[in-house]
Amino acid sequence: MPPPSDVPFDTSAPDGETVAPAIVQQEVACRNLHGGWNREVRWIQVAIDLTVAEIRSLLEHAEREAAAAARTNEHIGEYFTEQHQVKVWSDVLDRGEANKTILALRRARDAAYGKDA
């Protein structure tokens, strides 16, 4: 699913509560961490920014890791290295950035899936 388009918050809810439009990409001050959601289709996405050099480095590391996993699993048959999963981490967040991220994710959750009881 492609990332959502940039749409500003719509604060015109009749009950005075902040309501986001159906598709939102909200930037939070967490260096390279981004969140977006779609209320109509009900999804949330989290992304980080990477440089091309970081992507190349991640790919090299992932290919070495997948090859090692394939060698480790030789006894059980073919290991599909193209399906090997790699985790991509954001920058380290300080406490304030973590709080802003939690707040943004809660807003995204409530907008996409409704508020918890």
Q: Please answer whether residues 27 and 34 qualify as being in contact, where contact means their C-beta atoms are separated by less than 8 angstroms.
A: yes
Identify which of 91, 95, 101, 94 has the alpha carbon closest to the alpha carbon of residue 26: 101
Q: Tens digit of pLDDT for each residue in 45-73?
A: 888 888 889 899 999 998 898 888 888 87
For the chain, the structural domain boundaries read 23-113
Per-residue pLDDT at 59: 92
Confirm whether pTM is higher than 0.85. no
User: How does the average pLDDT of the chain come out, rounded?
Assistant: 74
Identify which of 85, 86, 110 has the alpha carbon closest to the alpha carbon of residue 35: 110
**Which neighbouring-strand residues pair with 27?**
34
Q: Which whole number is the average pLDDT over 72-89?
A: 78
One-letter amino acid for residue 38 of the chain = N
